[in-house]
Amino acid sequence: MAEVVIVDTPEEAGAHVAGRIARLTRSKPEAVLGVATGSSPLPVYQQLRVMGTEGSLNLGKTTVFALDEYVGLPRDHRESYHSVISRELVEPLGLDPFRVHVPDGSLEGIEDAGERFESDIRAAGGIDLQILGIGSDGHIGFNEPGSSLASLTRIKTLTTRTRQDNARFFASPDEVPRHCITQGLGTILRARHLVLLAFGRGKAAAVAAALEGPVSAQCPASAMQLHPRTTVVLDEAAATELRNGAYYRYAWQNKPAWQEAE
């Protein structure tokens, strides 16, 4: 069963997850981090920046893989995931740009962009900790409902709902790209630790389906139930539809001390 942490605020969630990343990179400076875009991981990145400024975090040897990218959006477009990761993490934390990998969404070479990305992950030794958000339809990365549970990095078509959800980042809904390149569910399941963040009532149904529903391609995040090490960090609003919410709170409060260590 997933480790479920229910906190009061996204800031508290950010501090919790950033603390875990700091412990991981202290014990393994050359750790490989999987990072996600969207608004949910932003409090984590905010806290990492605070720790970087204070000097309590050094990601100088850390390698980073992004989950996904839009296809056909120029790399330097403000909303390309390459730009978002650079702005949020790479520049403020002084990461080595040669250790930062974002799937290549440019049209040139798109045919084998997925395979190249998979081979880069393998060459880095696999992902130690993968941060995830969840779409309102249960997608992770850009693996929309119906995605194969064994899928690897590949091109996908975005659903109308995801394009609508993401339209807030663009000047008009028509500007949201129609295609993306995303790590597959099989890629994500290979990471050694999955950490999903979700906040707000709008995520409650997707979170409940992911954690307590059947494992099904109809809710791609439910594939996480197949993973041996998953942490899900929620606020109360995102936890409202969980049948086992009371148990998750109880289990977290009564966690054995030895489980605190990474």
Instruction: Name the minimum Å distance from CB 81 to ligand GLP.
Output: 8
Nearer Cβ to ligand GLP (14/38): 38
Q: Any catalytic annotation for residue 139?
A: yes
Give the 3-state secondary structure of residue 37: coil
Nearer Cβ to ligand GLP (25/166): 166
Of 147, 174, 154, give the one whose Cα is nearest residue 163. 174
162 binds ligand GLP (CB under 6 A): yes
Of 230, 190, 191, 193, give the one whose Cα is nearest residue 211. 230
Of 66, 80, 208, give the one whose Cα is nearest residue 141. 66
Q: Any catalytic annotation for residue 144?
A: yes
Q: Any catalytic annotation for residue 137?
A: yes
Q: Any catalytic annotation for residue 76?
A: no
184 binds ligand GLP (CB under 6 A): no
Dist. CA 220–CA 61, nearest whole Å: 32
Of 31, 9, 23, 33, give the one whose Cα is nearest residue 195. 33
- Could you say which of 68, 118, 128, 144 contacts ligand GLP (CB under 6 A)? 68
Which of 144, 165, 193, 235 is catalytic? The answer is 144
Determine the size of the site formed for ligand GLP (CB under 6 A).
14
Instruction: Name the minimum Å distance from CB 227 to ligand GLP.
Output: 16
- Could you say which of 21, 57, 67, 207 contacts ligand GLP (CB under 6 A)? 67
Dist. CA 161–CA 155, nearest whole Å: 18
Q: Which of residues 133-152 bind ligand GLP (CB under 6 A)?
A: 133-135, 141-142
Burial group, residue 58, by CB count within 10 angstroms (0-12, 13-18, 19+): middle
Residue carrying structure tokens 């960090």: 233
* β-strands 129-132, 32-35 pairing: parallel
Of 64, 21, 61, 67, give the one whose Cα is nearest residue 43. 21
Binding-residue pattern over the window 29 to 58 for ligand GLP, x denoting contact by CB under 6 A: -------xxxxx------------------
65 binds ligand GLP (CB under 6 A): no
Residues that bind ligand GLP (CB under 6 A): 36-40, 67-68, 133-135, 141-142, 162, 166
Q: Which residues are the active-site residues? A: 68, 137, 139, 144
